[in-house]
């Protein structure tokens, strides 16, 4: 299977720049999941944009994102495939929110 990695890199760089700019400007909203962890409008934007981009680049590879409401048998079906994408667009949202608030010390986020 041949994958257009340069297109994927470009996609993720574009999403990353957008998210970082919005974090720095404070232009996003914060909600909380059922488990009381934060999810921002940037998490949703990044997950949707990356998912849509990967679907266009690699339509035959299933995608699982942290923000999807995709559970049960659908996830099991995707996991059984030989190739799959796992997407957690902002890993460490709590820390990213600290960054957005100007806190210099953090334990990392990606």
The pLDDT, as a whole number, for residue 11 is 95
In 16-61, the DSSP E strands lie at 30-32, 38-40
Which residues make beta-bridge pairs with 31?
39
CA atoms within 13 A on the CB side of 105: 0
The pLDDT, as a whole number, for residue 14 is 95
For the chain (110 residues), the mean pLDDT of every run of 10, in chain order, is 86 92 88 84 91 93 77 74 86 68 59
Select from 62, 66, 57, 58 the least CA-distant residue to 90. Answer: 66
> Strand 63-65 to strand 85-87: parallel, antiparallel, or no bridges (unpaired)?
parallel
The pLDDT, as a whole number, for residue 53 is 95
């Amino acid at each position: 299977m041949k994958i257009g990695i340069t297109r994927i890199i470009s996609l993720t760089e574009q999403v990353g720049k957008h998210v970082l700019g919005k974090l720095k400007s404070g232009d996003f909203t914060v909600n909380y999941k059922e488990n009381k962890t934060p999810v921002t409008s940037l998490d949703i934007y990044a997950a949707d944009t990356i998912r849509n981009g990967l679907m266009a680049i690699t339509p035959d590879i299933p995608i699982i994102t942290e923000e999807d409401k995709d559970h049960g048998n659908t996830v099991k079906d995707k996991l059984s495939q030989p190739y799959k994408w796992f997407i957690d667009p902002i890993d460490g949202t709590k820390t990213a929110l600290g960054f957005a608030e100007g806190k210099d010390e953090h334990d990392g986020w990606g």
